[in-house]
Amino acid sequence: MKLGRKITGGKYRKQHKLKLYEKKGQERLIILGETKRKTIRVRGNNIKTILLRANEANVLANNKIQKAEIKNVIETPQNRFLARQNILMKGSIIETSLGKAKITNRPSREGMVNAVLVE
């Protein structure tokens, strides 16, 4: 059998091309480095600030939020290879100037890194 053909010999064709809202968004991986942000236009002519690189995090410690420097990515539960590449994502455990912290937000969508201190 020829690939992409029916048993009668006719072709399989797509019903329509993908609309803009049906297409997948670009996957953004936030790398540990000098902080860099970008603003993009989203649906409804709104603006979203995304993060490309980060070296600071807002860390919650003793019911106070402090800005801390990110030193290293220790562990990423989703994929251990992402931790080796120092990629920041939700659930990652990072080493900061205040101690170990767990990222609680999605930095690729919110334009900042929020974390909670882990004992």
**How much is the pLDDT for 20?**
86
Does residue 89 sit within a domain?
Answer: yes
Number of folded domains in the chain? 1
* Model confidence pLDDT, tens digit, residues 46-91: 998 899 999 999 999 999 999 999 999 999 999 989 999 999 999 9
Does residue 2 sit within a domain?
Answer: no
Q: What is the CATH number of the domain that holds 67?
A: 3.10.290.70
Which residue is associated with the tokens 């049906």?
22
Alpha-helical runs (H) found in the chain: 80-84, 107-110
Does residue 108 sit within a domain?
Answer: yes
Q: What is the mean pLDDT of residues 3-16?
A: 87
Dist CA 56 CA 100 (whole Å): 13
Dist CA 16 CA 9 (whole Å): 21
Does residue 9 sit within a domain?
Answer: no
Does residue 107 sit within a domain?
Answer: yes
Does residue 20 sit within a domain?
Answer: no
Dist CA 17 CA 70 (whole Å): 43
| pLDDT confidence tier of residue 43, bands split at 50, 70 and 90 | confident
Does the model's pTM come out above 0.95? no
Residue 41: domain span: 26-117
Does residue 12 sit within a domain?
Answer: no
